[in-house]
């Protein structure tokens, strides 16, 4: 295993829940992951045959379209403010492609590294949650800048851990601690969308384990352990988690009634012409008095900012990632997608890594196992990569 790439990926993922700078600025983990992508890109230069998978092609076309829309509006409005947003798309694309190549070359060792790193990242966030709950903070942000970031990261982190174990988590201390930390993060953030997404993940988890007696018995063992952890954290915070959840539930009807304006969906209805080719994500003064804050929905934001082509390509990326996965994976991954209906999670690297893992684990990974007896794959697994995906 390439030691430099492994260290950069491990540290980048382990510290991905630790925010130092304001939101929208590169964090320490982003610099490490960018270095990881750079190392893997250099390694790819030695590949004899570079093949482009359908998933990579769809994702690359999405990034290209986002860049094209932003370039067009930059020329029209003579403003460079549009280029901040495609930078996120391009960065996540580079990291995703690098991760796929890392998985393809190093297989099970790469999966174990990712699993441990994401578990540590969830524990880092949860450790800050415990400190903040003890100090009396209501909706805790953990190691992030706001509670919604904590909730979304925790939800995506749980899904990553589930995917790596095929939604049948092994009874390992670090893995169970990571799952427990993710649950604590979601509950402490008191995000209704994350709670709804979490329910879908649990349903997918139950579906994956209901077919075999041992898997179902293991599920019955893990669930009480997670509940005990949540109860202990609630007692540690003197009932703060339960109080926060009750307060959020009481506000739910009001939030649903005001969602149209609060989530800025009204911007789309007031300026529907931008849904054709996209308005970009900068210079919101064009939309006065509907210009305050971004649109809080990944799907609606893709439609308004990048038009029908952008939304279509985004949905195509999701479909390509999930096209050959079992039903329980569709249900589990729908957790972050459900959250994305009322929150903009397009800049989250962990969300894109969820899609990349779906592609690799249930399509490329299975194909690789079938080809494991061929000389071509033997040379690949021995450290001589043949393809980049």
Average pLDDT, the chain: 85
pLDDT band at 256 (very low <50, low <70, confident <90, very high): low
Asked if residue 55 is part of any domain, the answer here is no
CA distances 48 to 45, 57, 346, 374, Å, are 8, 19, 33, 17
Residue 130 CB contacts under 8 Å (≥ 6 apart), including other chains: 184, 233, 236, 237
- Residues 92/300, Cβ–Cβ less than 8 Å: no
Query: Apex CA 368: angle with CA 365 and CA 369, to 5°?
Result: 90
- Residues 267/290, Cβ–Cβ less than 8 Å: yes
Asked if residue 196 is part of any domain, the answer here is yes
pLDDT one-digit tens code per residue, 200-252: 999 999 898 887 766 666 666 677 777 777 677 666 666 666 666 667 666 66
Asked if residue 382 is part of any domain, the answer here is no
Selected residue with higher pLDDT from 66 and 81? 66
Q: State the pLDDT at residue 48.
A: 67
Distance CA(96)–CA(56), nearest Å, equals 9
Asked if residue 89 is part of any domain, the answer here is yes
pTM, two decimals, is: 0.87
pLDDT at 304 over 70: yes
Per the structure, the count of domains in the chain is 1
Asked if residue 386 is part of any domain, the answer here is no
Q: Pick the range with the lowest mean pLDDT from 87-96, 127-136, 180-189, 324-333.
A: 127-136
Q: Which of 47-56, 308-317, 375-384 has the highest mean pLDDT?
A: 308-317
Asked if residue 92 is part of any domain, the answer here is yes
Asked if residue 256 is part of any domain, the answer here is yes
Q: Which of 3-7, 139-143, 225-229 has the highest mean pLDDT?
A: 3-7
Asked if residue 51 is part of any domain, the answer here is no
Instruction: Assign 2 to helix, strand or coil.
Output: coil
- Radius of gyration over every alpha carbon of the chain, rounded to an integer in angstroms: 21
- Expressed as residue numbers, the domain containing 329 is 3-21+29-44+67-373
Distance CA(110)–CA(375), nearest Å, equals 22
pLDDT at 113 over 90: yes
- Residues 114/9, Cβ–Cβ less than 8 Å: yes
pLDDT at 386 over 70: no
Q: Give the other-Cβ count within 10 Å of 312's Cβ.
A: 17
Distance CA(262)–CA(271), nearest Å, equals 17
């Amino acid at each position: 295993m390439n030691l430099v790439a492994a260290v950069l990926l491990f540290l980048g993922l382990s510290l991905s829940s630790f925010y130092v700078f304001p939101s929208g600025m590169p964090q320490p983990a982003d610099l490490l992951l960018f270095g990881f992508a750079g190392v893997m890109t250099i390694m790819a230069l030695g590949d004899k045959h570079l093949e482009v998978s359908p998933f990579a092609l769809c994702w690359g076309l999405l990034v290209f379209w986002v860049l094209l829309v932003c370039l067009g509006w930059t020329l029209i409005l003579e403003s460079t403010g549009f280029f901040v947003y495609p930078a996120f798309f391009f960065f996540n694309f580079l990291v995703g492609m690098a991760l796929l190549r890392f998985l393809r070359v190093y297989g099970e060792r790469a999966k174990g590294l990712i699993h441990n790193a994401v578990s540590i990242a969830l524990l880092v966030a949860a450790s800050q949650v415990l400190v903040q709950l003890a100090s009396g903070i209501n909706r805790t942000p953990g190691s992030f800048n706001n509670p919604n970031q904590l909730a979304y990261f925790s939800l995506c982190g749980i899904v990553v851990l589930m995917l790596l174990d095929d939604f049948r988590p092994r009874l390992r201390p670090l893995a169970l601690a990571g799952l427990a930390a993710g649950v604590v993060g979601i509950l402490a953030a008191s995000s209704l969308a994350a709670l709804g997404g979490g329910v879908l993940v649990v349903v997918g988890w139950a579906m994956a384990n209901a077919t075999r007696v041992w898997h179902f018995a293991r599920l019955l063992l893990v669930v009480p352990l997670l509940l005990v952890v949540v109860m202990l954290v609630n007692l540690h915070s003197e009932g703060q988690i339960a109080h926060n959840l009750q307060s959020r539930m009481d506000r739910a009807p009001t939030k649903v009634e005001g969602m149209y304006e609060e989530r800025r969906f009204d911007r789309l209805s007031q300026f529907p012409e931008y849904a054709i080719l996209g308005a970009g994500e900068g210079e919101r003064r064009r939309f006065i008095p509907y210009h305050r804050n971004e649109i809080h929905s990944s799907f609606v934001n893709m439609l308004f900012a990048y038009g029908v082509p952008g939304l279509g390509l985004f949905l195509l990326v999701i479909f390509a990632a999930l096209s050959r996965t079992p039903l329980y994976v569709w249900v589990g991954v729908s957790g972050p997608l459900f959250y994305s209906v009322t929150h903009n999670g397009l800049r989250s690297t962990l969300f894109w890594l969820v899609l990349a893992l779906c592609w690799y684990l249930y399509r490329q990974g299975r194909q690789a196992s079938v080809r494991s007896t061929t000389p071509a794959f033997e040379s690949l697994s021995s450290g001589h990569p043949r393809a980049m995906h």
